[in-house]
Amino acid sequence: MFRQAVLATIAERPYAGRSILSDTFLRSYASFRMPSLDLYDYELPRELIAQEPLQNRVDARLMVIDRASGEIEHHHVRDLPQLLRAEDVMVKNNSRVVPARLFGRRTKTGGRWQGLFLRSDRATGVWELLTKTRGTLQTGETITLDDRDARAGGELMVIGRDDQGHLLVQPVPNESFEGPPQAIEPGKWLDKYGRVPIPPYIRDGHMVDADVTNYQTVFASTNPEDAGSVAAPTAGLHFTKQLLDEIAKGQTASAEVTLHVGIGTFRPIEVDDIDQHKMHEEWGRIEEDAVETINDRRSGGGRCVAVGTTSVRVLESCVANRNETNGRGVAATWTGATDIFIKPPYRFGVVDALMTNFHLPKSSLLVLVSAFAGHELIRRAYQEAIANEYRFFSYGDAMLIV
């Protein structure tokens, strides 16, 4: 009540025929004082949620937003070589999506079961899963998995649950996977028994064969250590090898980071005061060659253009030598888990421009984008995207914020 009374008094007090403070300032002040989740909500017609990608990835629309002028232009992803500068560096997340969704039956009861692989402990051979089943799974019980042709295959033995309620299991060795659980490579197991973890807003989460390639970036690493995402870094889905070649011909540099996208990507913020939201941890890495390229290009006046919010999370987790005045810094090598939650009034240390998809209401990703471009500009951009029937979410269109 006190805050509303103060704002009302300030807004009504005349000075030279005008309010002392502008409406824009009042809205900004209100947002700063009470970071309500409702600020990041919007109405989206269901038909604008893309269910399939376009046949040619580069035909996706690209909304270009200029933070300095507030201007919005409409392009296509294929226009990126002309929109990027020769002195820029484009940073991509090379994490590979694993076929992490599992289906099967409880061996003892025959009851249907499904789960989502989250991570593994190589030392113990214990895997952590998010699960859905009827009844209570007992320690020592086994789950018989279906392969991709719905035939009974490998088994998982229940070990227990962790403090977050996630199921802990070990793979049971068989003819295809010999040795103790510690020797079984999760990636190979998931390749045989897993399915692509399509988000629930696409076909209610049901995978089709085309998703194997459609829900993977063309620059996803083939290194087993870089396979670990349970959701795609979706801004990267717009690129083709031909587009990457055209960007390189324009002298724009390219650098790669790794961030394994976790299940928290699917989860909305559930507290009204976003300051109380706790981000999930995701494992990431940025190596020396990427650091050198980024810092070299930025020191020469180029922009660090992050492809996707996952790249942003790595880049802002590795900032060193921050300027106390403006928050700017340099990239530094880094490996580890990050739970960084980027929200207004965050000061970006390394990222100068951002390419990203259109995100779900009340999501941490929408909050991040608003921190980068400003809430009012993003709100206007989303309104314009809806009016122009842009395609939303993972298989949808994109924006480039400069």
Range of lowest pLDDT (13-17, 259-263, 354-358, 367-371): 13-17
- Residues of the chain with pLDDT > 90, as a percent, come to 73
Mean pLDDT of 323-341: 93
Decide if pLDDT at 3 tops 90.
no
Phi (first) and psi of residue 119, to 5 degrees:
-165, 170
DSSP classification of residue 255 = E
Q: Is residue 31 part of a domain?
A: no
Decide if pLDDT at 9 tops 60.
no
Q: Is residue 367 part of a domain?
A: yes
The pLDDT assigned to 180 comes to 87
Q: Are residues 249 and 178 in the same domain?
A: no
- Domain C-terminal end among 164, 195, 226: 195
Q: Are residues 242 and 330 in the same domain?
A: yes
Range of lowest pLDDT (19-33, 108-122, 249-263, 348-362): 19-33
Decide if pLDDT at 62 tops 90.
yes
Q: Are residues 67 and 133 in the same domain?
A: no
Q: Are residues 184 and 268 in the same domain?
A: no
Please tell me the pTM assigned to this model. Answer: 0.87
Decide if pLDDT at 133 tops 80.
no
Q: Are residues 297 and 380 in the same domain?
A: yes
User: What are 193-210's pLDDT values in tens digits?
Assistant: 999 999 999 999 999 999
Q: Is residue 4 part of a domain?
A: no
d(CA 46, CA 322): 43
What is the CATH classification number for the domain harbouring 174?
2.40.10.240
Q: Is residue 314 part of a domain?
A: yes
Written as six digits, the tokens of 173 are 């060795």
Average pLDDT of the chain is 89
The pLDDT assigned to 228 comes to 87
The domain tally of the chain equals: 2
| Side chain identity, residue 242 | Q
The pLDDT assigned to 324 comes to 82
Helix (H) or strand (E) holding 97: strand 96-97
Q: Are residues 245 and 320 in the same domain?
A: yes
User: What are 23-36's pLDDT values in tens digits?
Assistant: 444 444 444 445 78
Q: Are residues 232 and 345 in the same domain?
A: yes
Question: For 252-401, where are the E strands, in sequence order?
Answer: 253-259, 282-286, 304-307, 319-320, 330-331, 334-338, 353-357, 398-401
Q: Tell me which residue of 359, 392, 161 sits closest to 267, measured CA to CA.
A: 359
What is the CATH classification number for the domain harbouring 244?
3.40.1780.10
Q: Are residues 55 and 105 in the same domain?
A: no
- Residues of the chain with pLDDT > 70, as a percent, come to 90
Question: Domain span at residue 248?
Answer: 39-97+212-401
